[in-house]
Structure 1
Amino acid sequence: MSPELIQNLVTAYFDNLQSMNLAGWVELFTEDALICDPVGKPPSKARENAPAFFGLLSMAFEKLELSQDNVFIAGNGAAVKWTMRVLGKSGKPGMGEGISVFAVHESGKIQQVSSYWDDAALMAQIKG
């Protein structure tokens, strides 16, 4: 699989998440794709649980910005160091950093995403 294809897939993942484009985001995943976000919580089925996931995001955040700070592509995957800046529904800003590791299926879709970050710390920043 070409590094360009993997880069485009990762960029689409972050762009669709940031713009809250549920349909576009879901299309990036294989039927059985799993998300561990953050790692340590039970894995989630990307396609099946996407509506609930996007519902939680829209309830918590007024605005969501994601930057890909560093992207490392190897084999059929990538690791991305990212920064998230949000404006909570409370009006308070928050910022978090993390690393997401992507496994890409030979079909050109995301098979698994494992994200390492402290979601509780971000939520504490925006609490009203």
Structure 2
Amino acid sequence: MPTQEHMKAVMQSYIDGFAAGDAAALAALFAEDAVIEDPVGNPEIHGREAIAEFYANAVASGAKLTLDAPIRGSHGSKAAMAFTVEVPGLMRIRAVDTMAFNEEGLVVRMEAFWGPEDIEM
């Protein structure tokens, strides 16, 4: 099982990947068979290739993430973070992401929690 330190470092790398506009670095955090549900309730995105495309579109928008609180670990293989997504000149989204990790420390499932009331135009 990955350590809390590892999970928190991966989640920080996720924030840093957005800051750098590096979709490939973001996709590399995920297992080949990973799943993203962003936001929860939307259709799931399956597999690293589709995840890479998802993040290529996200970073192309200029989206940047800022943590609202420290990244949280767990006694298991999941961690969470609260952050704000800023898309310059377009919107701000307040979100919470949870990530589940495999034995190799890669993300196998990411769920983003945000809804219409969490968006500011």
- Give the 5 Å matches for 1:44-59: 44-58=45-59
The answer (yes or no) to whether the contact 2:36–2:51 under 8 Å persists in 1 is no
Number of the residue aligned with 1:66: 65
Q: Deviations over 1:57-101 (max 9, x none)?
A: 355x2x3221122222102111111111121xxxx2421101111
Matched AA of 1:24: A
SS of alignment partner, residue 48 of structure 2: helix
Gaps of 5+ in 1: none
Number of the residue aligned with 1:101: 98
Q: CA deviation at 1:55?
A: 4.2
Q: Deviations over 1:2-42 (max 9, x none)?
A: 21111111111121133221221111111100000000011
The answer (yes or no) to whether the contact 2:26–2:52 under 8 Å persists in 1 is no
* Counterparts of 1:23 and 1:8, CA distance in 2: 17
Larger strand share, 1 or 2: 1
TM-score normalised by the chain length of structure 2: 0.83
1:78 to 1:58, Cα distance in 2 relative to 1, 3 A = closer
96-105 or 40-49, larger mean C-alpha shift? 40-49
2:108 to 85, 100, 111: 111
The alignment's C-alpha RMSD in Å is: 2.2
* Counterparts of 1:111 and 1:51, CA distance in 2: 14
Gaps of 5+ in 2: none
- Give the 5 Å matches for 1:1-128: 1-58=2-59, 61=61, 63-70=62-69, 71-74=71-74, 75-87=76-88, 92-118=89-115, 122=119, 125=121
Aligned residues: 118
Q: Which one has the largest radius of gyration?
A: 1
* Counterparts of 1:46 and 1:38, CA distance in 2: 17
The answer (yes or no) to whether the contact 1:22–1:50 under 8 Å persists in 2 is no
